[in-house]
Amino acid sequence: MWFSTFLLKNLLRRKTRTLLTSCGVAVAVGTTIALLGLSESFENGTLSALEKRGIDIVIVERGVLDQLSSDLQENAVDYVAALPGVSKVEPALVELMGYTDPNTGNTINVLLQGWRTDSFQFAEFEIIEGRPLQEGDDKAILLGVTLAENVKKHAGDTFVLNEEELEVVGVFESFSTFESGGAIMPLKGLQAMSFREGSVTGFPVILEHGPGAPTVAEVAEQINQLKDNEGRSLNLLARPSREYTQEAMHIKMAHAMALMTSLIAVFVGGIGMLNTMIMSVVERVREISILRAIGWRKSRVVAMILGESLILSAVGGVLGAIGAVVLVSLLTKLPTVAGFMTGRIAPQVIFEGFLLALAVGMIGGLFPAYRAAQLMPSEGLRSE
């Protein structure tokens, strides 16, 4: 008989308790994997929208926490475009507006982006219905495919936002979950609708790449120093795409909330494991005494308790990972979530979640194992 067989038989002695404890760990680990996976998916969604278009730098207003709060003069684009090493730069306005379904009364948030109709950013879109935006389309909107499905709109329909009636000229599909879940309007139209004429929230920048071209850091530094013709700072903050994504306030908040919720879940899971293993030791004082009496070393008793606890947590880890993958896949299909994140969880997050499960098992089993090892062999036998 293998030692591991012995541990499994011990655990199967209390099937219900074993199952419930594993489920407790599964909930903790599943919550962690799901939340961390979603927050990472959130970050990756933003980053991929930039990297796939070859955007090297994102410019926002200096000192703001989030691009949505950024407020820059649209004409700053000309100063940036004039810098050596800059290949393309576009003004962009991002707004978050609520859309209320006239039939159900449900409101969903729509991420609206205002681009010039000839923006290089359209290159990555596939128009699957209707047509692209054109010059003069100020009261027109292009819906992402996920949003169009959620609001049940097609090309030619009317879409009401901020009491403004907009014509759906087409439906597009993007590689970016964010974009497919949102909508694009002509820059002028969105500026007018949000009372922000001449104002944008940022500028995506593509640099020249080749021998002698300035580095991303060098161009970013030049952008940060830009002043207008009257010598006033343009108040621009340029950051490489990855750094911009990692530093974005909404992404940092998503990570922080995921981490805090996960820690609470893990703490609860750890307490559950501790309780189970302490109960297991208390119930088996005599049995452990017998094992010690027949020559088991303290270290083997520790290995037995920790081994049982690690098996419980490993089972919980597997159940939790499966649960998280299924749950996230289902949740991201909900209309309110579908446009913001994908249902995929990175394998690395699942692996980290599994390691976390083992850590819960180790922490939850350590004290009971120590208690068990301290039992004198005679302790459980004296009551006979």
Partner 1 sequence: MKVIDDVLVRTEHLSKVYPDGNVNALCDVNVEIRRGEYVAIMGPSGSGKSTLLSMLGALDRPTSGEVYFEGERLSSMPSLDRFRSEKIGFVFQSFYLLPTLTALENVQIPMFESNRPVKERAAKAKELLASVGMSHRLHHLPSKLSVGERQRVAIARSLANDPVLLFGDEPTGNLDTKTAELILGLFAKLHDESGVTLVVVTHSDEVAARAERVIHIRDGQVVEDSHISTATTKIA
Q: Is residue 195 near partner 1 by the rule CB under 8 A?
A: no
273: which residues sit within 8 A by CB, 6+ positions away? 21, 24, 25, 309, 312, 313, 360, 361, 363, 364, 365
Closest by CA position to 29, among listed 366, 330, 272: 272
Please report whether residue 88 would count as binding partner 1 according to CB under 8 A: no
Residue 3 CB, nearest distance to partner 1 (Å)? 6
Using an 8 Å Cβ cutoff, are 70 and 60 in contact?
yes
Q: How far is the CB of 310 from partner 1 (least distance, A)?
A: 17
| Residue 165 binding partner 1, by CB under 8 A | no
Per the DSSP assignment, residues forming a β-bridge with 86 are 207
Residue type at 264? Answer: I
Contact region with partner 1 (CB under 8 A), list: 64-72, 114-122, 294-302, 335-343: 294-302
When the beta carbons of 208 and 379 are compared against partner 1, the nearer one is 379
If binding is defined by CB under 8 A, does position 290 make contact with partner 1?
Answer: yes
The contacts of residue 161 (CB under 8 Å, 6+ apart) are: 97, 99, 110, 112, 141, 193
Draw the binding track, 317-356, toward partner 1 (x: CB under 8 A; -: no contact).
----------------------------------------
User: Is 4 a residue that touches partner 1 (CB under 8 A)?
Assistant: no
Query: With CB under 8 A as the contact rule, which of the stretches 2-10, 149-157, 238-246, 353-361 interacts with partner 1?
Result: 2-10
Assess contact for 339 and 144: CB atoms under 8 A.
Answer: yes
Q: Which is nearer to partner 1, 255 or 300 (CB)?
A: 300
Instruction: Tokens for 347, please give them.
Output: 């394998």
Distance CA 23, CA 10 (A): 18
- Enumerate the H helices of the chain as residue ranges: 3-12, 15-51, 76-81, 145-151, 177-180, 187-193, 216-224, 241-247, 249-283, 285-293, 298-331, 335-338, 347-374
User: Taking the CA of residue 333 as centre, how many other CA atoms within 13 Å lie in the half-sphere pointing to its CB?
Assistant: 5
Residues 89-108 within binding reach of partner 1 (CB under 8 A): none
Q: Contact between 297 and partner 1 (CB under 8 A)?
A: yes
Q: Does residue number 283 form part of the binding site for partner 1 (CB under 8 A)?
A: no
Q: Which stretch binds partner 1 (CB under 8 A): 132-140, 174-182, 289-297, 358-366?
A: 289-297
By CB under 8 A, name the one of 19, 97, 327, 381 that touches partner 1: 381
Out of 17, 298, 344, 371, point to the residue binding partner 1 (CB under 8 A). Answer: 298
Answer yes or no whether residue 17 interacts with partner 1 by CB under 8 A: no
Instruction: Using the rule CB under 8 A, give the single segment among 7-15, 67-75, 154-162, 202-210 that binds partner 1.
Output: 7-15
The site string for partner 1 over 241-280 (x = CB under 8 A, - otherwise) reads: ----------------------------------------
Answer yes or no: are the C-beta atoms of 141 and 184 closer than 8 Å. Answer: yes
Please check whether residue 91 is in contact with residue 234, taking contact to mean a CB–CB distance below 8 angstroms.
no
Among 257, 293, 330, 355, binds partner 1 (CB under 8 A): 293
* Residue of 120, 296, 367, 370 that binds partner 1 (CB under 8 A): 296
- Beta strand 93-100 pairing with 140-144: unpaired
Residues contributing to the site for partner 1 (CB under 8 A): 1-3, 5-6, 9-10, 12-13, 286-287, 290-298, 300, 376-378, 381, 384
